[in-house]
Structure 1
Amino acid sequence: MSVDPSDRRSLRLQPRPSATPVREAVERVSRRMDTAFRWVNLEILGNTDGFLHAHVWPRFEWEPIDLVSKPVRLYPHDGWTDEQFALGPQHDALRQAIGDELDGLRSAN
């Protein structure tokens, strides 16, 4: 089905895959890997792209108190651009664990 991206109502009414398995996998892995895990925030967006998409944000006790209850996009700009936070090999185990959780959730259904 082709939909005009400017037609937001049509975009909202299209069937879309659930973000629930991804949220569940991120929550399980985050809880196992960091005892300071709090919860997972889901942001379902489609404001600038012609499709809906979700951001999955695990939240932790070690986050600054003035930011942990707010949207992640409000973090200082440095956190988004500093090389020390860039995706790299240090995240391989995390990515593998989330993928394994997703595989397990899929096979359970």
Structure 2
Amino acid sequence: MSGADSWRADRVGAARRGDNPTVIAKLRSGFVAMGDTQFLPGYCVLIADADEVDHLTDLPRPQRQQFLTDLGLLGEALMAACPACDPAFSRLNYEILGNQWRHLHGHVFPRYTWEPVEVRDGPVWWYPQQRWSDPADALGGDHDRLVEAITRELSRVLAEAYH
């Protein structure tokens, strides 16, 4: 792992230090990060800002409720930002898996009508494995406009919800 990518080894610590370049916002329960891959533009992850939390049920009920609320607020921001950037936006998929990375995090995947029919109506995991690591789909400068829109909508949503 190169020095530029060393934040990947400790995403939570890097987010807390301000060293995780994918983080776009801090919410009450965690950090909103853009997904490393953007073949579904706007894909975000809510990373719990809690130590040694693997499962949602590892959180005390008030923190668990806050995490789920924040996941919904992230979705609300994406529901406003994604169609403004791509009119083919159709819906959001929410998932809390934790199978590969054993730290509580929630995925929010925008879905689009332009997706191939064989994967459009199923879970995002139906996409071929190479889509998850294709450099052409990596988060980068091509996504600046969408990242700005998501960040702006998150600020608006959080101001309303956290007043």
TM-score range, shorter chain: 0.7 to 0.9
CA pair 4-95 structure 1, distance change in 2 beyond 3 A: closer
Answer yes or no: is 1:100 the counterpart of 2:152. Answer: yes
CA radius of gyration, larger in: 1
**1:26 Cα deviation (Å)?**
1.1
Counterpart in 1 of 2:83? Answer: 31
1:55 aligned to 86, 89, 107, which one? Answer: 107
TM-score (norm 2): 0.57
Runs of 4+ in 1 over 6 A off after TM superposition: 1-4
Note the alpha carbon deviations across 1:69-88, whole angstroms, 9 max, x for none. Answer: 11112201221222111111
The percent identity for this pair of structures is 35
Counterparts of 1:107 and 1:9 in 2: how far apart (Å)?
25
Paired residue secondary structure (2:96): strand
Give the aligned partner of residue 11 of structure 1: 58
Alignment size in residue pairs: 107
Aligned residue among 96, 100, 120 for 1:68: 120
Give the CA RMSD over aligned residues. 2.4
Give, in whole Å, the separation in 2 of the partners of 1:85 and 1:4: 29
Q: Following the alignment from structure 2 to structure 1, what is the Cα–Cα distance between the partners of residues 53 and 85? A: 42
In structure 1, list runs of 5 or more residues that go unmatched: none
Structure 2: unaligned runs, 5 residues or longer:
1-49
